[in-house]
Amino acid sequence: MTRSARRQFLTQASALTAGTLASSMVGSAAFAQGAEFKMKFASNLPAIHPLNVRMKEAAEAILKESGGRVDIQVFPNNQLGSDTDMLSQVRSGAIDFFTLSGLILSTLVPVASINGIGFAFKDYEQVWAAMDGDLGAHVRGAIGKAGLVAFDKIWDNGFRQITSSSKPITKPEDLKGFKIRVPVSPLWTSMFKALDASPASINFSEVYSALQTKIVEGQENPLAIIQTAKLYEVQKFCSFTNHMWDGFWFLANGKMWEKLPADLRAIVTKHINAAALAERNDVRRLNNSVEVELKVKGLTFNTVDTAAFRGTLKKAGFYKDWKAKYGADAWAILEKYSGKLE
Ligand code: X2X
């Protein structure tokens, strides 16, 4: 419950007689008043994105099952700052929980970008095998060493597609000099440089206005985000490049997490991981179904020969360079799921 919703509830409640009040206080608002652990969850996504919808449900379930002891407030839509800001806040403990793309987290934990290697995964079956398997475990281990806790189930962002206001991207040559926004992450910049584009690192909080004012021509994101963040209002074309899979690690501040009693940690863990699985289903369904809606809103879609884009990356030495950066061991874990990449 947001602060204003709670205030509204209390105003309404105070108008009731004592008897009705007592019986109406069995809901979550009664618990929220005296929560022993008041916590903040933050994300860069709109409130209507499945990640925040499922997170809100989880927060309510946690409040209830903990008997009102754990009250997690949900702050969507960069309300607490850009990803860069929120990452430092979750490290300092100003935010308790934060969902962040592994690729952006790689500014702190280098190996966390490994799932974003261009065209590594061909479908969700490979993605979940890797991320719920050894690759995810390897990355979570590295995150743990950086003072953050990553929950077992990574949340889905999706396979990313390129949008543009200037021209459709149909072949690798169309990206030559193309001004494209990428999130703040060395892997993203490196990949679009290898594709000969002109990438600009911009936090998601600034993407809509950067596209609107044409600071950049295009950006890349899964359809669920193009839809829920209304990027279709400032873009004309969408190319199904599926150039990488991206997910959100559910992060907790390590010190806060250690201080939380074990029984409460178990309740939080259970509901957060269940919400992640529900969110994966929602996002997959959304990504498969919104194309029609986005066409009505004016986006023109095209498919591409992804092998051609992958060939360009290979020729530019992209796979060789990143294998050297991650090291042969981490690369071998990735290739166990993706097949040989070089
Ligand atoms: O910044 C983006 O483009 C987004 C919303 O997809 C991520 O968080 C990586």
Q: Which domains does the chain have, with CATH numbers?
A: 3-156+247-288 (3.40.190.170), 161-243+295-338 (3.40.190.170)
Nearest CA owner, ligand 1 atom 7: 101
Q: Decide if pLDDT at 10 tops 70.
A: no
pTM of the model: 0.91
Q: Looking at residues 308-333, what average pLDDT do you find?
A: 98
pLDDT in tens, 233-288: 999 999 999 999 999 999 999 999 999 999 999 999 999 999 999 999 999 999 88
The predicted pLDDT at position 19 comes to: 36
Ligand 1 atom at minimum distance from 246 CA: 9
Show Cβ contacts of residue 263 under 8 Å, excluding neighbours closer than 6 positions. none
Per-residue confidence band for 1, with pLDDT thresholds at 50, 70 and 90: very low
Cα atoms found within 13 Å of the Cα of residue 328, Cβ hemisphere only: 0
pLDDT in tens, 33-92: 689 999 999 999 999 999 999 999 999 999 999 999 999 999 999 999 999 999 999 999
Max Cα distance, the chain (Å): 75
Nearest CA owner, ligand 1 atom 6: 221
**Cα 179 to ligand 1 centroid, rounded to whole Å:** 17
- At 299 the three-state DSSP class reads coil
Share of the chain above pLDDT 70, in %: 90
Q: Measuring CA to CA, which residue among 63, 87, 86 is closest to residue 268?
A: 63
The predicted pLDDT at position 11 comes to: 39
Q: Decide if pLDDT at 31 tops 60.
A: no
Q: What is the DSSP string of 116-161?
A: GSTT---SHHHHHHHHTTHHHHHHHHHHHHTTEEE-SSPEEEEE-E
The predicted pLDDT at position 33 comes to: 63
Q: Decide if pLDDT at 302 tops 50.
A: yes
The predicted pLDDT at position 140 comes to: 98
